[in-house]
A = this chain, B = another copy of it.
């Protein structure tokens, strides 16, 4: 069965919506615990009860079963809160409580407040436990042949990668560490993942907005299932000259293909893309006019779903 473009979005943006699925949405919200800090009247993430209850009686955390909140009580600034979170996560990693922590990355993601201020940072592999918003960059690289035909660079992820091994990806993608800007992250990842020279990237890359979605992790992601991942990806396009060829720069990519639109759409339809990369590719096809009002009946829903308004403060 061929996946529709909306199916591809559904696979990535899988958290229910209050308008279209109020029963499931309300059931979800009445089950989850929310991550909080004192004196900030905003939910910072949604947590499974099975995850939140692990923090019961852990120093620096306060669990309220009636309000279904997990509050980080330590610290009065980002540095103190971050240290407390780090200490807890190191301990949880040692005790082997959560499978996702086996993929410890030694990279910090930021959690932001309503004024976009950094509240604290979290080890990357732990972010789905807290259900916090994470940020990344995704870049579509394409070539215009002499006949004007559009060709798209599509990497295949290394089969040895722990998450989504062997699946197709966007040309370059990566997570934004705390303190890094989106563009710095992109330039770094272009060198690491695709061996693209910094000067070519800076000269040619074009920011084209961002996509936001709310993913519920499945077994494909590895680790616990059902964890919540609201994400924001800053999206960039780059038109490359025909003689600039992306090459794997680390062990994350097996091979780059240069495919026409039809080949990419076929692979999308077969579900060969990592879910959020499939979503970014659909966004690219919308912006390039390949998907339009005349040929895509779901266009309005697709455009809305590519830009979900998240329930949490964002960067």
Contact = CB atoms under 8 A, between A and B. Distances in A.
Contacts of A234: 292-293, 299
Nearest to A208: B287
Given A294-B182, A300-B315, A307-B304, A286 B17 contact: no
A300 B182 contact: no
A124 B241 CA distance: 48
Interface residues of A, number: 39
Given A232-B300, A304-B308, A309-B304, A293 B18 contact: no
Contacts of A17: 309
Nearest to A286: B209
A206 interface: yes
A18 B249 CA distance: 45
Interface in A277-315: 286-289, 291-294, 297, 299-301, 303-311, 314-315
A207 interface: yes
B208 A300 contact: no
Contacts of A211: 303
A183 interface: yes
Contacts of A212: 300, 303-304
A78 to B, nearest CB: 18
Nearest to A305: B309
Nearest to A302: B209
A28 interface: no
A8 to B, nearest CB: 16
Contacts of A294: 181-183, 207
A299 to B, nearest CB: 6
A295 to B, nearest CB: 9
12 contacts: A19-B309, A116-B297, A182-B294, A183-B293, A183-B294, A206-B289, A208-B286, A212-B303, A232-B300, A300-B314, A303-B307, A307-B307
Q: Which 4 A-B pairs have the closest CB atoms?
A: A207-B292, A182-B293, A307-B307, A304-B309
